[in-house]
Structure 1
C-alpha cells in the first residue's frame, strides 16, 4: 500500500465519543460488557425456541429489562409515557432507548448539552433486519382473521352461488372451484390448504358480503355531529367505530380482517427508534434510520460524523438496534450455510462452521470536540479519525478483497495514518471461510505489531449491532492500552491461519493509540473506521 503522509490529512473538526450505551448478550450495559470481555467469556447459548429444535442453535439473547429505564423516562415524561412505550414499542425501540439513556448517563452534563444543541443534534439509529417479530405477528393475525372471514361468507347459507353448485354442480362464470377439501385426508395440511382456497373462492360470490361491504363503506363516510373542530375528528372516529361494531353484530360475522392487525406494526417501522429518541429528548435535528446490513453501525456513525463536519450538527446520537434472535432469521442463516445447527459456539478463525445470530443495541453520542469540550465534556471513547464506505460489487455474502480495500485505503488516507500506526484491528470475522479472506485482505494495512481481534464468538452476530459492540470493545481496549481476550486458543485455530502471533487470544498489551474496525455487510457493504484512543487523544 502506498503510505499516506500526515501532511495530506485534511484540516477538519475533531469528532469525539462522549457517550456509549449497549444492550448485548451478557452485557446489559458497558460495565457488564467489559467484564465479559475481560474474562474472555462467551455470552452465547442454545436457543430454547421449539422452531429451532430446543437447543440446536447457539444464539445471543440480549440481557435487557425495560424496568432499568422506566424511572428515568417517568421522571421526564410521566408514568403514562412509560406505559405507552411498554405497550406499543417492541424490542428495537426499547433496546435503542435503553442504550441511549445509558449513553446519556456517561456524563452528568451530556443530557443538558444534547437538549441545548436541539436542531444541532442529529439522530441516526438503524436496524439490520427491522422489527421482524412485529411484522410476523401482524401477518399471522391478518392470515388467521382472513381464514375466519372467508369461511363465514363461503358457507352455503351466505352464498347463493355455492348453494346452486351443491344442488346442480353449476359454478359461476370464470375459473372452476378449487379442489373440494372434503376429498382430502382429515387433519392433513393438504386439506387445510384446500379449505383456505375453497373458502376464498366462494366468499367472492357472497351477496351478503357485498351488502356488508357497502354498509361498511357508508359508515366510513360518516361525519361527526360535533361542531367543535378540535374535537370533530375524534368524535367522528368514535361514531364510526360504534357503527362498525353494530354492523358486525347485525350480520353475526367475524370482525373484518382489516381490523385484526395491531397499529403497533406502524409504530415499530425502521425509523421508529430514531424518532422515539428525538421525542424522548425533545430534540429537533434530522433523524432517520440508515441501513447497511452488518455495516449499519459504521454507516450510522458516518452519517453523524459527516453532519458535524459539514457544520449541520454539533452532536449526533448514532447507533443500531435489532430484535432478539428470531427463529425465521436463524433458519434463513442456516439455509444460507452461514450458521451451524449445533449448540456449540464457533469462534472466528477456527472451524469456520458459521456465525451466531444475536439481538440488542449499541448507541454512541458523538460531537464536535471544540463545542463539547468547551462545555466540560471529555471523550470516553476517543476520537473518530475517519470513516470510509465501499461496496464489493461482487457477491452478496462472501467479501471480495478489492472492495473492502477501497474503504480501508480511504480511511487510512483521511486519518493520515500508516500501517505502522495501527495498534489493533478488529475484523468482521463471522466464523466462516470468509475469515481467511479477511485476514489476507488486511495484510498490507497492518504490521507485525498490530494485534488482530474478532468478537463474534463472544457476542454473536447482531445483524446491525455487532459492529457497534466490537467498536465499543476497541474503544475500551485503546483506553486501557490492552486488548481483551477473545476466547480463541492456539489449538483451535484453523490450519490455514498463519498469523497466530498477531491474533489476540489472551489479554495483550497494545503498542500505540490507533485502532481500526472493519465491518463487512451482506450485499458487500464495507465500513472501515479509524479510532484514536481516549487516553492519548485528549492531549
Structure 2
C-alpha cells in the first residue's frame, strides 16, 4: 500500500484531544478506568437480577453516582437545577453530563474557553440504543392506564351496547361479534388476561358515555385564560384546563385518561437529550445533535466534530456517546441473535468466540483546533486525531465483510498519510464472536509484524455506542505511555484459528512508534476507522 502524494493529502490542520471523561464498568472516572486497564482486569460480572436468569449472564454495570457532579452543577446553576436533573433526566443524560464535567476538569482553562467560543463549540453525543428503560417506563404506564380506562368504560353501566348484549346476546346493530368473553378462559391464565384486554377494548369503543366524556374533555382543551396579563396567560390557561380536567374525571368517577398518565420524562430523554443538556449546562450555542451509528457511534460523533472544525464551522467540539445500564430486553435480543452467551463467565476476544457482554456508561471527548487551543494555553492530553473514515458493508446486518471495512481503513490511512509500517498498535472491535477471526484477516494488509493488536471487550464489555470511545481512550493512554495495557487474554486460551498470535497483546507491551488505529464495526454494517497520533507528535 503506497502513501498518497503530498499534493493529494487534505489540510494538515491538527485536531487535538483536550478533555476526556469516562463512565464505565470499573471506571468511575478516567483515573479508575486507567487503573483497571493497568491491572489487566475485567469489570464484567454476573448479575443477580431475575430477568437476567439470576447470574446466568455476565454484564458490565457502570460505576456512577450523580452525587459526584451535583456540587459542580449547583455552583453554576443552583440547587433547583440539580433537583430537576435528578427528577427528569435518566441514565443516558446523567452519564453524559458526568463524563462531560470530568472532561472539562482536565484543564482549568477548558471550561472558560468552551464558553468563550460559544457557538464555535459544537456538541455531538449519540447513543447506540437510546434510553430503553425510560421508553419501557412510558410504555408500561400507558399499558396500565389503558387497561384500567377500557375496563371502566366497558362496564354495562357505562356502555349501553354491552348492557343490551348481555340482555339479548346480540351484538350491536351491524357490528362484528365481540371477542370471546374472558370468563370462558381459566381463572388467572394468560389467555384470560389477554381476552379481557380485547373484550374491554371492544366495549369501551362502543360506550356512548365515553363519547360524552371525550367531547367535554375536548371542550376543556379550548378554554382560554381569565388572566388579562398576556405574559402569564399561557400558564394561567394551562392551570385552568388542568383543574377542569380533574373535575371532569371526578364527576364521571373514571380512571385518569391514558394520555395523562405518561411522564413527560420520555421527551426529555430522547436521543438528542444528552447533547442538548450539555449545551444548556455550558450555555453554548453551537450545533448539537445525536449521531447514531450503532457500535460505531463514537467514531461517527468524533468525525462530526472533527469535520466541523476542519470546515471552519467550529473551533472546538464536545463529542461522545452514552448508553443505559445493561437492559434485560437488550441482553435477551443479543442472546437470541447468538452473539451473547448465557454464562456468568467472561468471554474474552480471540478465545472461545462464544459472544460479547452488554455494558453501559458514557465516554466524552473535548477536541479542538490545535493551533487555536494551544495558543490559549491548552495542551493535548490524548494526542491528535489524524484521520477518520466511514464505510458501509452493504452486505449483512451483523457479520462484517472484509471489503466494507477495508474501504474505511484505506481511506483513513490515505488521509493520515501513513503506511502499515507506521502503525504501532491497532485496536479491534473484537466482540468475542467468530467475527474476531474475520477482523484479524481483514487487517492483514494494514499492519506489520511490529504492530501490536489489542481488544478490550473482555474488560469493559460491549457498551453498544460506548465501547469504541472507551477503547479509543485506552489507545490514547497507551500511545502517551508508549506501552499497551494488558488485555487479560492468555496465550493458552487463544482460539486455534487465530492468526498473528505473536502480535496480540496479552501482558503490558512496549509500542514502537506513536501511531494508533482504532476499528469500530457497527450493527447494520457501518465501519469507523480512526488514526491517532500520540500526545508527543513527531514533526511533519
The TM-score normalised by the length of structure 1 is 0.99
What's the CA shift string for 1:184-241, capped at 9, x where partnerless?
0000000000000000000111111111101100100100011111100000000000
Partner of 2:256: 255
Partner of 2:305: 304
Runs of 4+ in 1 over 6 A off after TM superposition: none
CA contact (8 A) 1:423 1:515 kept: yes
Query: Quick one: distance in 1 between partners of 2:31 and 2:435?
Result: 31
TM-aligned CA deviation for residue 286 of structure 1: 0.4
CA contact (8 A) 1:5 1:417 kept: no
Structure 1 position 169 matched with structure 2 position 192: no
Q: How do 1:452-463 residues align onto structure 2 when only pairs under 5 Å count? A: 452-463=453-464
Query: Quick one: distance in 2 between partners of 1:446 and 1:8?
Result: 23
Query: Quick one: distance in 2 between partners of 1:538 and 1:313?
Result: 25
Query: Quick one: distance in 1 between partners of 2:7 and 2:210?
Result: 76
SS in structure 2 at match of 1:17 = strand
SS in structure 2 at match of 1:462 = coil
Partner of 1:70: 70
TM-aligned CA deviation for residue 9 of structure 1: 2.8
Query: Quick one: distance in 2 between partners of 1:49 and 1:92?
Result: 21
Structure 1 position 148 matched with structure 2 position 145: no
Query: Quick one: distance in 1 between partners of 2:494 and 2:188?
Result: 51
TM-aligned CA deviation for residue 324 of structure 1: 0.3
What's the CA shift string for 1:263-305, capped at 9, x where partnerless?
0000000000000000000000000000000000000000000
SS in structure 2 at match of 1:388 = strand
Structure 1 position 15 matched with structure 2 position 6: no
TM-aligned CA deviation for residue 174 of structure 1: 2.1
Structure 1 position 50 matched with structure 2 position 59: no
What's the CA shift string for 1:133-171, capped at 9, x where partnerless?
000000000001000000000011111111111111111
| RMSD across aligned positions (CA) | 1.0
Query: Quick one: distance in 2 between partners of 1:433 and 1:164?
Result: 64
Query: Quick one: distance in 2 between partners of 1:416 and 1:175?
Result: 71
Farther off after superposition, 43-52 or 239-248: 43-52
Partner of 2:28: 28
SS in structure 2 at match of 1:158 = coil
Q: How do 1:71-150 residues align onto structure 2 when only pairs under 5 Å count? A: 71-150=71-150
SS in structure 2 at match of 1:284 = coil
CA contact (8 A) 1:4 1:418 kept: no
TM-aligned CA deviation for residue 2 of structure 1: 3.8
Partner of 1:357: 358
What's the CA shift string for 1:295-316, capped at 9, x where partnerless?
0000000000000000000000
SS in structure 1 at match of 2:262 = coil
SS in structure 2 at match of 1:279 = helix
TM-aligned CA deviation for residue 537 of structure 1: 4.9
TM-aligned CA deviation for residue 49 of structure 1: 2.0
Partner of 2:207: 206
Partner of 1:425: 426
SS in structure 1 at match of 2:224 = coil
Partner of 1:242: 243
The TM-score normalised by the length of structure 2 is 0.99
Structure 1 position 38 matched with structure 2 position 38: yes
SS in structure 2 at match of 1:352 = coil
Structure 1 position 491 matched with structure 2 position 492: yes
Partner of 1:266: 267
SS in structure 2 at match of 1:461 = coil
TM-aligned CA deviation for residue 401 of structure 1: 0.1
TM-aligned CA deviation for residue 7 of structure 1: 6.0
Q: How do 1:220-235 residues align onto structure 2 when only pairs under 5 Å count? A: 220-235=221-236
TM-aligned CA deviation for residue 3 of structure 1: 4.1
TM-aligned CA deviation for residue 498 of structure 1: 2.2
CA contact (8 A) 2:295 2:521 kept: yes
Partner of 1:295: 296
Q: Tell me the number of residue pairs that the alignment of Structure 1 and Structure 2 aligns.
A: 539
Q: How do 1:382-393 residues align onto structure 2 when only pairs under 5 Å count? A: 382-393=383-394
SS in structure 2 at match of 1:303 = helix
What's the CA shift string for 1:486-526, capped at 9, x where partnerless?
00000110000121110000000000000000000000000
Partner of 1:215: 216
CA contact (8 A) 1:346 1:353 kept: yes
Q: Which runs of 5+ in 2 are unaligned?
A: none
Query: Quick one: distance in 2 between partners of 1:419 and 1:448?
Result: 10
CA contact (8 A) 2:440 2:499 kept: no
Farther off after superposition, 28-37 or 43-52: 43-52
Query: Quick one: distance in 1 between partners of 2:461 and 2:176?
Result: 51
SS in structure 1 at match of 2:401 = coil
CA contact (8 A) 1:26 1:36 kept: yes
Query: Quick one: distance in 1 between partners of 2:313 and 2:365?
Result: 18
CA contact (8 A) 2:323 2:464 kept: yes
Query: Quick one: distance in 2 between partners of 1:9 and 1:312?
Result: 21
